[in-house]
Amino acid sequence: MALPPIRSSREQPPLVAVLGGAGAMGRAVVFDLARAGHPVRILESDRAAARRVARRYGGRACEVESADAMDPAALALKLQGAAALVNCAPYRLNLGAMDAALRAGCHYVDLGGLFHTTRKQLRRHADFRRAGLLAVLGMGSAPGIANVLARTAADPLRRVRSIRIYNGGADRTRYASPLPFAFSPATILDEFTLPPVVFERGRFRSVPPLSGGEDFPFELGTQRVHLSLHSEVATLPLTYRRRGIRACTFKIAYDRELIWRLRLLIDLGLVDRRPGPRGVAPRDMLLDCFRRLPPPPEFVDDTDSLAVVVEGEDERGPVVVRHDLTARAQRVPPLSAVARDTGFPPAIVARMILDGTITERGVLPPERCVPAGELLAALARRGMRARRRATRPR
């Protein structure tokens, strides 16, 4: 199917659809696109929530459609007229959303697929390339910004030894809920229970969930981090295999109270996917209970911090290059730090695809197609500035 034409700068920019646009990340995508003048179509199962987001974050150029992401054919019909789809729905819907974008003839950007889904998505490369389309996988914060920071550090090196990614944060919000979630509870449960994949000594292997604990010094202070299943590890070792990469890991700092409470639920068997005696899986029941928890306040006062550490060699010898980026919440309109550094990058990249800044086609991770300088400059204009530091072993 032919792509909608890219209009001249004097005409209205192309329409961008946002799947899951009423969620925390989706709101940030809608806001950033609308602020840039793009008409936005929010695709949501909850039309009332979508209308509220349209009024508050999207303005007059925002429209709302109900959508079932479980039905790619029906979703493709809702994408008619859109030049790009930004998918902010839970990662388990990624493959269906990609199919819908391909059917509708629009570009595609998502927030990541927790390693295994990302690997399945990469197999669609030839399909998207033949259609003249680009799908960028994992273009949020981590994955997303983290991949681009890794590219910034690794590309100038003659040899890359390791890429290690760390994600920390702080939240000063007072919640009514005993289990506040920054993003999809189902995804967090998967990060707590699915074995992380690490790349060590040139090989991929699985390790126990939340293993590999260490204290890591972020810009906002030292925090305890653990290994977690993530998409960066699925692609960066493949991107830099010709540079000799031997190790790649992702570690995240979860709130200690959240770890303790979720571990209790896990130990009680409440995240088991197998149906019980009455045909209901404990995990499904638990997720239904999570949906009944008090919603977070409108303004979440948090901070999110990324650190990417690349070890390798340049023309002067061994070097360690570290990049840091910290995001903070904004009050008007209310967007958490996690929403800003996760939602703004896919909006920025969607615009880059549509204005011709990005010309690659197929299915690619961020480090293979997103120009680092342009993305980091755009993030800096939004108050998220990356800092670089290089050190040499003595």
CATH 3.40.50.10800 fits 16-141+341-381, yes or no: no
Asked if the domains at 16-141+341-381 and 145-336+383-391 fall in one CATH topology, the answer is no
What dihedral angle (degrees, nearest 10) is formed by the CA atoms of 187, 192, 193, 198? 100
Q: Cis omega (within 30 of 0) on the bond before 282?
A: no
CB-based contact 379:325 (threshold 8 Å): yes
Q: Is the Cβ–Cβ distance between 239 and 370 less than 8 Å?
A: no
Predicted pLDDT of residue 59? 86
Assign residue 35 a region (left: φ > 0; alpha: ψ between -120 and 50; beta: otherwise). Answer: alpha
User: What type of residue is 273?
Assistant: R
- From the number of C-beta atoms within 10 Å of its C-beta (0-12, 13-18, 19+), residue 169 rates as buried
**42 CB-near residues (< 8 Å, 6+ apart):** 17, 18, 21, 22, 26, 30, 50, 53, 54, 58, 62, 63, 64, 65
CB-CB neighbours of 256 under 10 Å = 10
Which pLDDT belongs to residue 164? 98
Is residue 40 within 8 Å of 34, Cβ to Cβ? yes
**Residue 298 pLDDT:** 87
What is the Cα Rg of the chain in Å? 20
For 222-244, the DSSP string reads EEEEEE---SHHHHHHHHTGGGT
pLDDT of residue 1: 36
The pLDDT value given to residue 10: 57
Q: Are 3 and 83 in contact (CB under 8 A)?
A: yes
Q: Residue 131 corresponds to which amino acid?
A: A
> CB of 349 within 8 A of CB of 315?
no
DSSP string, 39-54: -EEEEES-HHHHHHHI
Mean pLDDT by 10 residues, the chain (394 residues): 42 92 95 96 94 93 90 95 97 96 98 96 98 98 98 97 97 90 87 96 96 96 97 98 97 93 94 90 93 89 97 96 98 96 98 97 98 98 97 88
Fold of 145-336+383-391: Dihydrodipicolinate Reductase; domain 2 (3.30.360)
Rounded CA-CA distance 219/239 in Å is: 28
Give residue 240's Cα distance to chain centre: 21
Of 217, 181, 213, which is closest to residue 196 (Cα–Cα)?
213
DSSP conformation class of 176: S
The domain limits of the chain are 16-141+341-381, 145-336+383-391
Token readout for 118 is 């990302």
Q: Exposed/middle/buried for 244, CB within 10 Å: 0-12, 13-18, 19+?
A: middle
Q: Token pair of 143, please? A: 């994955």
Q: Which two tokens stand for residue 157?
A: 């090196």
The pTM of this model reads 0.94
